[in-house]
């Protein structure tokens, strides 16, 4: 067998060549069946990964799916905090991630030690954390939320309850505005959602006057102020299906456009431009995952995610609370 050295994939601790003649889709399908594995994928994954996933969804949908799966192995085509969430919910299952380096700038913007000190300064506050955070932050949290249930979770507390919201200041500010609260915000943000250019989006709108601007709440306030609709990735997708416009400027990571286009082939979806000429509206972490790495992860059953105790059981409580409140 010829080994294509150019095609050598680095996956966690394993350096293994992938035979370039392999039908990766068929191999992944075979391995999933053989090992009773489920492939969960976030909407920001490459189209070819979305197309072979058993479930594609937003962070809430993925957590719910991870909670109810009967599979022995969960292969998480997403980023580290998502796979960690699946492991927190399933300590006895094997949770794999195609590339261990698939992190998240938002999760990284909230280091546990600094956050613990911040929390200690506000003992009367409860903590609501966006799911885009590490297991350590979840362990310091009272209830987790995602962008699809954040308003509901915040409103489940009395209006006079002091709240720390972490780690996304943009989502926090959006919820504050929507609910009339004054939550204390951790100063974190997502590198992808902060890169969109208000000026370029406004210019784009001039050329596409009938296009609706739809945005993820991780975007900065001036972008959200001009949006026709704001929601999680699933909410944005559903909106484009039920809404009667035919053109949309989509202000979130570009991966979601694949499902939008699939569900509404007759509509036009324009990815909102970043503020420079890079492809910064692609999440560099999400895009580390490839079909080759998924194949290798299933073959070697690594890289595996582990969440040590007592962090895991401490992080489980706020997660279960969120899942209960989201029913
Ligand atoms: P949702 O899919 O939950 O909207 O989250 C978006 C995101 O940034 C995930 O990393
Ligand atoms: Fe993290 Fe932003 Fe990438 Fe989502 S899009 S994984 S929040 S860096």
Length of the chain: 327
Q: Does the structure show a pLDDT above 60 at 129?
A: yes
pLDDT at site 9: 43
Residue nearest to atom 3 of ligand 2 (CA): 283
What is d(CA 133, CA 114) in angstroms, rounded to the nearest whole number? 14
pLDDT at site 17: 78
CB of 63 closer than 8 Å to CB of 131: yes
Helix, strand or coil for residue 128?
strand
Q: Is the CB of 194 under 6 A from ligand 1?
A: no
> Could you give the percent of the chain with pLDDT greater than 70?
95
- Residues 169-181 pLDDT 10s: 999 999 999 999 9
User: Within the chain, where are the H helices?
Assistant: 24-34, 47-52, 59-68, 80-89, 105-108, 112-120, 135-139, 150-155, 169-179, 198-207, 221-226, 233-242, 256-263, 291-300, 311-325
pLDDT at site 124: 98
- Residues 235-255 pLDDT 10s: 999 999 999 999 999 999 999
Judged by its nearest atom, the ligand closest to the C-alpha of residue 192 is 2
CB of 298 closer than 8 Å to CB of 31: yes
Q: Does the structure show a pLDDT above 70 at 7?
A: no
End-to-end Cα spacing for the chain: 52
> What angle is formed at CA 85 by the lines to CA 136 and CA 256, rounded to 5 degrees?
120
Closest CA to 78 of 68, 92, 60, 167: 60
Q: Does the structure show a pLDDT above 90 at 161?
A: yes
pLDDT at site 274: 87
- Residues 26-56 pLDDT 10s: 999 999 999 999 999 999 999 999 999 999 9
**Model confidence, pTM:** 0.94
- Residues 293-302 pLDDT 10s: 999 999 999 9
Residue nearest to atom 3 of ligand 1 (CA): 59
Regarding predicted confidence, which is higher, 2 or 311?
311
Q: Does the structure show a pLDDT above 80 at 1?
A: no
The burial class, CB within 10 Å (0-12 / 13-18 / 19+), for 245 is middle
Q: Does the structure show a pLDDT above 70 at 132?
A: yes
Q: How far is the CA of 50 from the centre of ligand 1 (A)?
A: 15
Q: Does the structure show a pLDDT above 70 at 16?
A: no
pLDDT at site 5: 34
The pLDDT-based confidence of 15 (bands split at 50, 70, 90) is low
Q: How far is the CA of 148 from the centre of ligand 1 (A)?
A: 9
Q: Does the structure show a pLDDT above 50 at 13?
A: no
The bridge status of strand 37-42 relative to strand 212-215 is unpaired
Q: How far is the CA of 283 from the centre of ligand 2 (A)?
A: 6
Q: How far is the CA of 253 from the centre of ligand 2 (A)?
A: 8
CB of 147 closer than 8 Å to CB of 232: yes
Domains for the chain: give ranges and CATH numbers: 5-102+285-306 (3.40.50.10800), 106-190 (3.40.50.10800), 198-271 (3.40.50.10800)
**Which residues are near ligand 2 (CB < 6 Å)?**
44, 79, 104-106, 132, 190-192, 253, 283, 285-286
What is d(CA 102, CA 12) in angstroms, rounded to the nearest whole number? 10
Nearest atom of ligand 2 to the alpha carbon of 44: 5
CB of 240 closer than 8 Å to CB of 264: yes
- Residues 58-100 pLDDT 10s: 999 999 999 999 999 999 999 999 999 999 999 999 999 999 9
Q: Is the CB of 132 under 6 A from ligand 1?
A: yes
As a whole number, the mean pLDDT across the chain is 94
> Which tokens is 169 given?
């200041």
CB of 38 closer than 8 Å to CB of 73: yes
Q: How far is the CA of 80 from the centre of ligand 1 (A)?
A: 13
Q: Is the CB of 233 under 6 A from ligand 1?
A: yes
Residue nearest to atom 9 of ligand 1 (CA): 59
Q: How far is the CA of 232 from the centre of ligand 1 (A)?
A: 6
Could you give the count of Cα atoms lying within 13 Å of 298 in the half-sphere of its Cβ? 27
Q: Is the CB of 259 under 6 A from ligand 1?
A: no
Residue nearest to atom 1 of ligand 2 (CA): 104
> Which tokens is 272 given?
């909102």
Q: Which of 104, 133, 167, 287 to mutate to test the pocket of ligand 2 (most atoms within 8 A of CB)?
A: 104
């Amino acid at each position: 067998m010829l080994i294509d050295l150019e095609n050598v994939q680095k996956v966690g601790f394993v350096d293994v060549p992938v035979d370039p003649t392999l039908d990766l889709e068929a191999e992944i399908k075979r391995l999933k069946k053989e090992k009773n594995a489920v492939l969960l994928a976030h909407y920001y994954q490459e189209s070819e990964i979305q197309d072979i996933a058993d479930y594609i969804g937003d962070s809430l949908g993925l957590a719910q799916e991870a909670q109810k799966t009967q599979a022995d192995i969960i292969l998480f085509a997403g980023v580290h905090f998502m796979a960690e969430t699946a492991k927190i919910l399933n300590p006895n299952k094997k949770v794999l991630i195609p590339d261990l380096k698939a992190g998240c700038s938002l999760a990284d913007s909230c280091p546990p030690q600094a956050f613990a000190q911040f929390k200690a300064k506000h003992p009367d506050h409860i903590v609501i954390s966006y799911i885009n955070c590490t297991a350590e932050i979840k362990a310091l949290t009272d209830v987790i939320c995602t962008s699809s249930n954040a308003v509901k979770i915040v409103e489940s507390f009395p209006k006079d309850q002091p709240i720390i919201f972490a780690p996304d200041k943009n989502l926090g500010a959006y919820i504050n505005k929507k609910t009339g609260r004054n939550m204390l915000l951790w100063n974190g943000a997502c590198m992808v959602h902060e890169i969109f250019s208000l000026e370029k989006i406004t210019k784009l709108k001039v050329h596409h006057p009938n296009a609706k601007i739809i945005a993820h709440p991780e975007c900065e306030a001036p972008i959200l102020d001009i949006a026709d609709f704001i929601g999680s990735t699933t909410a944005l997708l559903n909106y484009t299906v039920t809404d009667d416009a035919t053109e949309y400027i989509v202000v979130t990571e570009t991966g979601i456009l694949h499902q939008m286009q699939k569900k509404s082939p007759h509509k036009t979806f324009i990815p909102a431009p970043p503020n420079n000429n890079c492809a910064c509206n692609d999440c560099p972490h999400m895009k580390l995952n490839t079909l080759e790495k998924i194949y290798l992860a299933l073959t070697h059953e690594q890289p595996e995610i582990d969440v040590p105790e007592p962090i895991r059981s401490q992080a489980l409580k706020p997660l279960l609370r969120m899942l209960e409140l989201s029913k």
